[in-house]
Amino acid sequence: MSTQARQALDHYAVPWLFAAALLTVAPHFEHQPLWLSLFCGAVFIWAAWLWWSDQRLPGRWLLMLIVAGGCAAIWIEFRTLFGRDTGVALLVMLMALKLMELKSRRDAVVVVTLGYFLLLTHYFYSQSIATGLWLLVALWIVTATLIRIHGGSAASVRGTLRHSAILAGQALPFMLVLYLLFPRVAGPLWGLPQDAHAGRTGLSETMAPGNISNLARSGEIAFRVLFDGALPPRDKLYWRGPVLEEFDGRTWRPYAGITPRPRLDLQSPPIGYETTLEGHNQRWLLALDAPSTLPADSVLSGTLTANARQRLSNRQRFRFASTIDFRFNVSENQPVLNRNLQLPSGRNPRSLELARRWQSEQGSPEAIIDKALELFSAQFTYTLQPPLLGEDGIDEFLFATQRGFCEHFSAAFVVLMRAAGIPARVVTGYQGGDRNPVDGYLIVRQSDAHAWAEVWLADRGWVRVDPTAAVSPLRIETGIAGALAEGEPLPALLQVRTDWLRTLRHRWEAINNAWNQQVLGFDRERQRRMLSAFGIPDADWRNLAVALAVASSLLLLAIMAWALYHRPRRDPAARLWHTALRHLARRQVHCPPWETPLALLARVRAEQAELAAPLARVVDAYLQARYSPANEDLATLRDAVAQLRRWRNT
Amino acid sequence: MALIANLRQRLFRWQSDGTAPTRLGQRRVFILPAGSGLLFAIALVVMLIGAINYTLALGHALVFLLAGIGLTGMVHTFRNLHGLTISPGRCEPVFAGETAHFQLILSNDRTTPRLALELEAEPGAAIRADIPAGEIARINVPLVARQRGWLVLPRVRLWSLYPLGLFRAWSYLQPEMRCLVYPAPLPSPLPERSPSLAGGEQGSEGGEEDFAGFRHHQPADSPRHVAWKASARDTDRPLLVKQFAGGAEGELRLDWQLFDPALPTETRLSLLTGWVLAADAQGCSYALRLPGSDIAGGFGEQHRRRCLEALALYPQ
């Protein structure tokens, strides 16, 4: 066995391996450190040149040295040899260097196996339709390479590519069956490395000036929502994220301790909806204010934020019901109220003074709130590019720069309220969304990230106040693109105002959403639903295993039938002649393949004279049918064969 | 071991008489994962764990597609052998120590080629065959001839890893073929020519130069002795052969008894073989005498073959 595996690789199999390596490695150049890409490129060119000029490959020691050097460089770059990105970098380096060691068929098989592995690693970074298609092409070529290695030089390029396509085509039903029926395990199986979900954008747990305006420059989708009924009015679409109660003068943070359970008084019928949340590596689920029914495996915090039990590392679906009109904690605990009145001492004296003045002038908290909103709407500008703020940020903002994004308005508003003796806090989340007319999903992007305020009023509980709405009513009514002036650094996608482009974008996003929902989002829940539609309710892994075994056996049987189906092409005369030979064999006369009909007849005349007469007729008719140009009629031959069959030794 | 041998015998029982063409049906083709198939399976398991751990939906799809490719690859490997027709071909005699080539005729009546078939009669001597669609390939299976006599083709293993190398399909063929193995020739100087019994008194100095007349050509005559010019004069008659004076040159008598009786049988046979070859190369007439068989003097290809055959089949 080993002697076979060690067979030398033929010269023209090598370009196939180069192609396979390049196809599987190239897309990774996007995520890798530049030096690694350059290194791989150099190794590729070196290997190709060695092949082209038919030179000896470098020795084992040199390769070992290069591998050690590469590992060291990767360690210096990533400071670890474990983890997702490091693993990918190592695989890419090994793949490139393996091309310098293509001596036997076994080396080639290693390259192909590495190629299959590398295909998988692309999905760490993207699972879009485009990636799927690209990898399908790569898979086709890599498999063709494997075929070429074993077919040797007798395998033509066309034939090899065709064979690979046939194999993949026949494997597709297996893939489908496995995809639908393989018992799905909700990952992860163990702790993922630190960098498993690096680089996710989304809300963060704290808010400092600039956080949200940075986020708002991204057109990435944060989540999609499909409402059971009609879309609620846009100015009610507040998706609640973390609530920030602690302020140190610059950064807002959530309260770290435990808050008692919220008490909700629902005043309108609940609205059902399903959100598909992109993995943001945080726990909050961004429910519509205020959630009345939560999905399983989630809890409602004391500040009304719906949280999952674990961080969401992947796109996931959640079903909620929310009520738009509600009262929240009409009777609030004193510690909570006290907490929401605290301000860092000695900071922002002018703001505090203004608020105290309001407090003494105005009678009711409502009047103070109105006063503050009036101030904002009179002289403030809503912009993505606010000036930088110093030590007393709120003072500077309120009295000097007067330009800001939602985080500035909400922070300033909450500070004013607290100073005026009204319990208040900052709520972050998303506001609004863009309905895609193609599939009816509401798309909420990072650019919809928002911060607003919440004040506690006696008899009314916590009430939402959105100071941004006072500054820029358009932000709440139409979204950020309409609210900002021309020239603001918004993502190009959002600035599109042409109708046909917008339609195109909607189509494309609907296709992507369908892909996400139907293909990528096929999880245990969907699997169970699909099986119950087929009459297997409450399928556990045993049912699935049985269904899987049955389905794949049927498929294997079908493909076996294809493999066994074979009808040698013989002309009808030859077929009749073979029938005659079978009849002869039954009478103990065997015709070896080299004996011509006439020779057979001569032999039968000598050995079994009584059989000669019927056989002579058959031979005669066969030769006629075979070689006489005029006679196309097989009736005579058929007749003669039938007579031979019926002939009895009397 | 005996049990395994017994099992082998039962599993791979051969039913054909070995002379007719054999068609590889599904019962004759065996298949098991090859070494790289196991590597592939391990890689798939690791990839599946990775896909589950990182919840990669497309990762699942990729692993499942690869598993499907592996399974269909198995069927394709099987199909590469299934339906192949094998018939025995010719086999030229060889000398002991040389490699005998047993010709097998493999015919592929399918519309797709069968690539990377390998045949071996003894371990380590595999020969590769690729048969294009609808064609016939004549494959010479090598087997080292170690002993004179009949070399019977042992069970031939036919296998293939094509297309993916993940599975190895194999079959055993036992066409009834044998190859005549002549003794290995040992070169040694030819013995003295003895005067032929018939024309002993005619001068031996005449040799081939002494033209004595024509006679009709006989199949065993060397073409060197044909009188082409004389024959051309009259094309109706058979060819004429020049006759020279006398069994004159004398006849070589290659006799078993010429050797030292102490020499072992095989050495004697080898020496005789060397003489036959040397005499044949000189083109002179020679007779072979072995205990129990006596081949009269003659020359030519057929005579040589008769002599070598007698030497090859000399009882041990």
Q: Whole-angstrom Cα distance, residue A621 to residue A627?
A: 10
Q: Whole-angstrom Cα distance, residue A237 to residue A227?
A: 12
Contacts of A473 (CB under 8 A, 6+ apart): none
Q: Work out how many domains chain A is built from and give that number.
A: 3
- Residue with the bigger pLDDT between A451 and A521: it is A451
Q: At residue B16, does pLDDT exceed 60? A: no
Task: Look up residue B193 and give its DSSP letter.
Answer: P
Q: Which of A495, A528, A545 is the last residue of a domain?
A: A495
Q: How confident is the model at residue B188 (pLDDT cuts 50, 70, 90)?
A: confident
Q: Which domain holds residue A442?
A: 211-495
Q: Do B56 and A119 touch (CB under 8 A)?
A: no
Q: At residue B293, does pLDDT exceed 50? A: yes
CB contact A593 to B (< 8 Å) = yes
Are A349 and A458 within one domain? yes
Task: Look up residue A485 and give its DSSP letter.
Answer: P
CATH topology for B2-181 is: Immunoglobulin-like (2.60.40)
Which of A410-424, A584-598, B30-44, B215-229 is predicted least confidently? Answer: B215-229
Q: Is residue A450 part of a domain?
A: yes
Residues on chain A touching B71 (C-beta within 8 angstroms): 171, 174, 552, 556, 559
Q: At residue A239, does pLDDT exceed 70? A: yes
Average pLDDT over residues A367-377: 88
- Residue with the bigger pLDDT between B218 and A548: it is A548
Query: Residue B294: phi, psi to the nearest 5?
Result: -140, 115
Give the bridge partners for A306, in sequence order. Answer: A300
Q: At residue A198, does pLDDT exceed 60? A: no
CB contact B188 to A (< 8 Å) = no
Q: Whole-angstrom Cα distance, residue B285 to residue A45?
A: 70
Helix (H) or strand (E) segment spanning residue A103: none
Numbers of helices and strands, H then E, in chain A: 25, 19
- List the single residue in A with minimal CA-CA distance to B33: A1
Q: Whole-angstrom Cα distance, residue A252 to residue A344?
A: 11
Q: Do B35 and A560 touch (CB under 8 A)?
A: no
Gap from A432 CA to chain B (nearest CA, Å): 30
Q: Do A175 and B82 touch (CB under 8 A)?
A: no
Q: How confident is the model at residue A148 (pLDDT cuts 50, 70, 90)?
A: very high
Residue percentage of chain A with pLDDT more than 90:
24
Q: Which two tokens stand for residue A134?
A: 């690209």
Q: What is the pLDDT of residues A302-321, one digit of tens each?
A: 888 999 888 887 788 899 99
**Secondary structure of residue A292 in the 3-state scheme:** strand
Q: What is the pLDDT of residues A426-444, one digit of tens each?
A: 999 999 888 888 888 898 9
> Which one of A5, A186, A593 has the shortest CB-CB distance to B21?
A593
- Residue with the bigger pLDDT between B153 and A525: it is B153
Q: What is the pLDDT of residues B131-145, one digit of tens each?
A: 988 888 999 999 999
Are A472 and A357 within one domain? yes
Average pLDDT over residues A312-331: 87
CB B159 within 8 A of CB B168: yes
> Which one of B56, B79, B163 has the shortest CB-CB distance to A127?
B56
- List the single residue in A with minimal CA-CA distance to B45: A117
Instruction: Output the pLDDT for position A539.
Output: 72
Residues on chain A touching B116 (C-beta within 8 angstroms): 150-152, 154
Q: Whole-angstrom Cα distance, residue A301 to residue A166?
A: 55
* Residues A327-347 as b or e (16 or more Cβ within 10 Å = b): bbbeebeeebeebbeebeeeb
CB contact A189 to B (< 8 Å) = yes
Q: At residue B14, does pLDDT exceed 60? A: no
Q: Which two tokens stand for residue B34?
A: 């090859």
Q: At residue A616, does pLDDT exceed 70? A: yes
Q: Whole-angstrom Cα distance, residue A105 to residue A117?
A: 19
Which sign does the torsion angle of CA B45, B50, B55, B59 carry?
Answer: negative
CB A209 within 8 A of CB A402: no
**Secondary structure of residue A455 in the 3-state scheme:** strand
Instruction: Output the pLDDT for position B210.
Output: 52
Q: Whole-angstrom Cα distance, residue A277 to residue A287?
A: 10
CB A86 within 8 A of CB A72: no
CA distances from B136 to B86, B105, B109, B110, B140 (A): 10, 7, 8, 11, 13
Say whether pTM exceeds 0.90. no
Q: At residue A494, does pLDDT exceed 70? A: no
Gap from A312 CA to chain B (nearest CA, Å): 11
- List the single residue in A with minimal CA-CA distance to B41: A113
Place of tokens 């020739």: B185
CB B244 within 8 A of CB B211: yes
Q: Do B76 and A563 touch (CB under 8 A)?
A: yes
Q: Which two tokens stand for residue B289?
A: 């005498």
CB contact A346 to B (< 8 Å) = no
Closest CA to A244 of A234, A254, A235, A258: A254
Average pLDDT over residues A179-192: 75
Task: Look up residue A398 and give its DSSP letter.
Answer: I
Q: Is residue A503 part of a domain?
A: no
Q: Do A171 and B71 touch (CB under 8 A)?
A: yes
Instruction: Output the pLDDT for position B15.
Output: 45
Instruction: Output the pLDDT for position A4.
Output: 44
**C-alpha atoms less than 13 angstroms from C-alpha of A328 in its C-beta half-sphere:** 23
> Which one of B52, B56, B66 has the shortest CB-CB distance to A116?
B66
- Separation of CA B182 from chain center: 13
Contacts of A388 (CB under 8 A, 6+ apart): none
CA distances from B120 to A7, A382, B128, B139, B158 (A): 16, 84, 9, 11, 7
Q: Do A167 and B69 touch (CB under 8 A)?
A: yes
Place of tokens 């969401």: A312
Q: How confident is the model at residue B192 (pLDDT cuts 50, 70, 90)?
A: confident
Q: Which of A495, A517, A544 is the last residue of a domain?
A: A495
- Residue with the bigger pLDDT between B151 and B124: it is B151
Task: State the burial class of residue A632 (Cβ atoms within 10 Å of its Cβ: 0-12, 13-18, 19+).
Answer: exposed
Mean per-residue pLDDT over chain B, rounded: 82
Q: At residue B316, does pLDDT exceed 90? A: no
**Domain-wise residue ranges, chain B:** 2-181, 194-312
Strands B167-173 and B30-33: antiparallel
**Radius of gyration over alpha carbons of chain A, in Å?**
38
Q: How confident is the model at residue A263 (pLDDT cuts 50, 70, 90)?
A: confident
Q: Is residue A355 part of a domain?
A: yes
Average pLDDT over residues A157-179: 93
Q: At residue B237, does pLDDT exceed 80? A: no
Q: Whole-angstrom Cα distance, residue A394 to residue A401?
A: 10
Give the bridge partners for A244, in sequence order. Answer: A426
Instruction: Output the pLDDT for position A178.
Output: 92
Q: Which of A495, A515, A545 is the last residue of a domain?
A: A495
Q: How confident is the model at residue B1 (pLDDT cuts 50, 70, 90)?
A: low
Q: Is residue A375 part of a domain?
A: yes
Are A228 and A362 within one domain? yes
**Helix extents (H) in A122-262:** 129-151, 157-181, 211-215
Q: Do A564 and B82 touch (CB under 8 A)?
A: yes
Q: Whole-angstrom Cα distance, residue A497 to residue A434?
A: 14
The CA-based dihedral angle spanning residues A248, A249, A255, A259, taken in that order and rounded to the nearest 10 degrees: 120
CB A14 within 8 A of CB A112: no
CB contact A179 to B (< 8 Å) = yes
Which of A91-100, B173-182, B215-224 is predicted least confidently? Answer: B215-224
CB A383 within 8 A of CB A404: yes
Closest CA to B73 of B31, B127, B120, B130: B31
CA distances from A345 to A11, A118, A419 (A): 79, 56, 11
The DSSP string of A66-93 is: HHHHHHHHHHHHHS-S-SHHHHHHHHHH
Average pLDDT over residues A126-141: 91
Q: Do A120 and B60 touch (CB under 8 A)?
A: no
* Residue A591 known to be catalytic: no
Q: How confident is the model at residue A607 (pLDDT cuts 50, 70, 90)?
A: confident
Instruction: Output the pLDDT for position B236.
Output: 67
Q: Whole-angstrom Cα distance, residue A398 to residue A354?
A: 10
Give the bridge partners for A227, in sequence order. Answer: A273
Which sign does the torsion angle of CA A532, A537, A543, A546 carry?
Answer: negative
Instruction: Output the pLDDT for position A413.
Output: 92
Largest CA distance in chain A: 137
Instruction: Output the pLDDT for position B206.
Output: 40
In B161-284, beta strands by DSSP E: 167-173, 178-182, 211-216, 240-244, 252-255
Q: What is the pLDDT of residues A208-233, one digit of tens each?
A: 877 777 777 777 888 999 999 888 88
Q: Which two tokens stand for residue B209?
A: 């130069």
Q: How confident is the model at residue A477 (pLDDT cuts 50, 70, 90)?
A: confident
Helix (H) or strand (E) segment spanning residue A20: helix A14-25
CB contact B53 to A (< 8 Å) = yes
Closest CA to B310 of B282, B291, B284, B297: B291
Q: How confident is the model at residue B270 (pLDDT cuts 50, 70, 90)?
A: very high
Neighbours of A265 (CB within 10 A): 13
- Residue with the bigger pLDDT between B203 and A640: it is A640
Q: Is residue A565 part of a domain?
A: no
CB contact A109 to B (< 8 Å) = yes
CB A288 within 8 A of CB A239: yes
Asked if the ipTM is above 0.85, the reply is no
For chain A, give the number of residues.
650
Q: Select the residue from B56, B86, B168 to test the A interface by mutation, using most A Cβ atoms within 10 A.
A: B56
Are A217 and A351 within one domain? yes
The CA-based dihedral angle spanning residues A475, A479, A484, A487, taken in that order and rounded to the nearest 10 degrees: 170
Place of tokens 């299959």: A116
Helix (H) or strand (E) segment spanning residue B22: strand B22-23
Are A130 and A264 within one domain? no
CA distances from A601 to A604, A619, B20 (A): 5, 8, 19
Q: Is residue A85 part of a domain?
A: yes
In A204-257, beta strands by DSSP E: 221-227, 238-244, 246-247, 252-253
Q: Whole-angstrom Cα distance, residue A384 to residue A218?
A: 12
Q: Which two tokens stand for residue A382?
A: 């809503």
Average pLDDT over residues A606-619: 87
